[in-house]
């Protein structure tokens, strides 16, 4: 995980504020990589209670598996073309955190015959964050349950991640040295 100087400071402050014995030990011996490994492992577990975030990217293949093929048959010619072109111009996938990307799929599958696809896409676009991802996220972190045609959601509001992926021991050591 590549941390900005501000994120390193936030991580350091969070470690220092923690009552976890491993964090306390790390604070006393900040150059000890054994403690840094253990602290990184603590920050890489799922946040409890669940804190929901938008995934940073969903591959075109993963996006395609969420599309219910029976619903593709009900698309208008224009929406079918929009869907096809979208996959051609975005071979590396889509950004669920971007309302424009969500709007594309919400609009293409906006008819009653797109309900299952919208639900499947929404399920793939969000996930529970780890402790460290929650630390660097902004937003309420609640699970969305519905996708509107304009890309907004109902039933919750996943947070935007400031950094995605696992924390490694070097990140912890860098943060403690900052």
pLDDT of residue 118: 95
- Beta bridge partners of residue 161, listed in sequence order: 137
Query: What is the domain partition of the chain in residue ranges?
Result: 5-50+165-177, 54-161
On the question of a cis peptide bond just before residue 49, with omega within 30 degrees of 0, the verdict is: yes
Model pLDDT for residues 38-74, shown as the tens digit of each residue: 999 999 999 999 999 999 999 999 999 999 999 999 9
- Beta bridge partners of residue 6, listed in sequence order: none
Mean pLDDT of 132-161: 95
Instruction: Kindly report the backbone phi and psi dihedral angles of residue 157, in degrees, each rounded to the nearest multiple of 5, phi listed first.
Output: -150, 90
Report yes or no on whether pTM surpasses 0.85: yes
Closest CA to 53 of 136, 159, 140: 159
The answer to whether the CB of 172 falls within 8 A of the CB of 39 is yes
pLDDT at 34 over 90: no
Mean pLDDT lowest among 7-11, 28-32, 111-115, 159-163: 28-32
Query: Residue 68 corresponds to which tokens in the numbers above?
Result: 């219910």
Confidence class of residue 84 from pLDDT cuts 50, 70 and 90? Answer: very high
């Amino acid at each position: 995980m590549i941390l900005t100087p501000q994120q390193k400071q936030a991580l350091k402050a969070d470690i220092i504020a923690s009552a976890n014995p491993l964090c306390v030990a790390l604070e006393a011996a900040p150059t000890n990589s054994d403690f840094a490994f253990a602290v990184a492992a603590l920050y890489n577990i799922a946040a409890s209670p669940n804190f929901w975030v938008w995934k940073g990217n969903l591959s075109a293949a993963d996006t395609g598996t969420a599309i219910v093929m029976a619903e593709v048959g009900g698309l208008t010619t224009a929406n079918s073309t929009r869907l096809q072109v979208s996959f051609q111009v975005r071979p590396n996938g889509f950004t669920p955190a971007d309302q424009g990307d969500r709007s594309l799929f919400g609009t293409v599958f906006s008819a009653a015959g797109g309900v299952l696809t919208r639900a499947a896409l929404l399920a793939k676009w969000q996930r529970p964050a780890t402790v460290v991802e929650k630390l660097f996220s902004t937003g309420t972190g609640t699970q969305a349950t519905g996708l509107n045609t304009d890309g907004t959601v109902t039933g919750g509001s996943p947070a935007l991640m400031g950094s995605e992926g696992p924390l490694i021991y070097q990140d912890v050591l860098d943060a403690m040295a900052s």
